[in-house]
Amino acid sequence: NFVSGVAPEFNLAVLRQSFDRDIQIVKPYQKFEIGDFNLKSAPVDHSLPGASAFIGENDEETIVYTGDLRFHGRHPELTHKFIKEARKANPSIMISEGTRIDKEDNVTEIEIEQLAVDTVSMCKGLVVVNYPVRDLDRLLTFYKVAEDTGRKLVVSLKQAYILNLFSGKGYEYPGLGDVMIYKPRKGWGLMGDDSFACVEDEWLCASDITSDQCLRDYKKWERELLENDNVLTYHDLQEDPQDYIFRCDFFELKELIDIKPTNGVYIKSSTEPFDEQMEINEKKVENWLKLFNLPLLNRGFHASGHANGREILEMIRKINPDKLYPVHTTHQDKFLKLQEDGIEVIYPELSG
């Protein structure tokens, strides 16, 4: 019915209805209940803040689930504490991630930081860097790089919003006032610069454009961020490129049209493509960089959010479950060697 353009009345009512959600805060290693299970969350080191493993038990089983974790980030002590607590629970079942079970090496955040400092120090123009918008550990890495090289880290409105959510929560991330916030052109292209723009079918020059008209291009949450004193535009990056590290992902490459970078570099600090669409996007990025003559640097600038194979197997042996279910992997056979340690490896199967 939605395809035909006629939505059932009850669906429209559901869309318009507001729901009360029973949100409960889960504190690390404090028990909470779901059904007949007592559960504890165990914070672990990962590329995204708030990642947790879980330890659950009922009258029949004790189950440990790793979630996504690593040992080579900024807080490996979190993962080590989880292993200690999981072993004490004496689990009958363990569910373990195996994203990099076939890998043997790691690149650490500290190694990225050191390499990036050396690279940025040699750049005379704008440094453009692409890292995942929610990877606040990587934001912290390039914030430190900016500090060490006399630059300022410039983030998007979306990343500024995420960063602000973690302010005052006990995290080590920089505050919103420690970075610069990039103000992009939006639908009407209004920024108060010396260009012309069409507003409600009327062409206006910068002197005739009010601040209220400029803000119409932006959503409410964006307007609140734009009230800060640390907001800049493409003009700033164009005039003083040597002062900034500009975080720019695939969807923000169009900003380079206005910025027109010269003597700059593009640092790719994200995972390699692993599906067809990502490969297509990668080729598009390369074409953008050729257009602006930006050298692509992508060796050694990404640290995975996942442990390598040796670390995963060592973790499982320490926790020592009776049964192990590997998940989040395309190399489940790599877990079979655990059977030599008396751990039964069971491949999960779809039911029904």
The pLDDT value recorded for residue 23 is 80
Question: Average pLDDT of 63-89?
Answer: 97
Residue among 97, 92, 41, 30 nearest 63 (CA): 92
More confident residue, 25 or 85: 85
Write the pLDDT tens digit of every residue in 253-273: 999 999 999 999 999 998 877
User: Could you report the per-residue pLDDT of 160-205, keeping only the tens digit for each?
Assistant: 999 999 888 888 999 999 999 999 987 655 555 545 444 455 544 5
Task: Give 273: exposed, middle or buried? Use CB within 10 Å, 0-12, 13-18, 19+.
Answer: middle
Judged against a pLDDT cut of 90, whether residue 331 lies above it is answered with: yes
Residue 129 in tokens: 């860097």
Q: In sequence order, what are the beta bridge partners of 128?
A: 246, 266
Average pLDDT score over the chain: 88
Contacts of 50 (CB under 8 A, 6+ apart): 43
* Helical residues (DSSP H) of the chain, grouped into ranges: 9-16, 76-88, 109-121, 136-148, 157-165, 211-215, 220-226, 234-239, 256-259, 276-291, 309-319
Assigned token pair, 341: 């340690």
Question: Can you tell me the distance from the alpha carbon of 352 to that of 350, in angstroms, rounded to the nearest whole number?
Answer: 7
Q: Check residue 253 and report its DSSP letter.
A: G
The span from the CA of 68 to the CA of 44, in Å, is 8
pLDDT value for 2: 40
Place of tokens 């009776």: 322
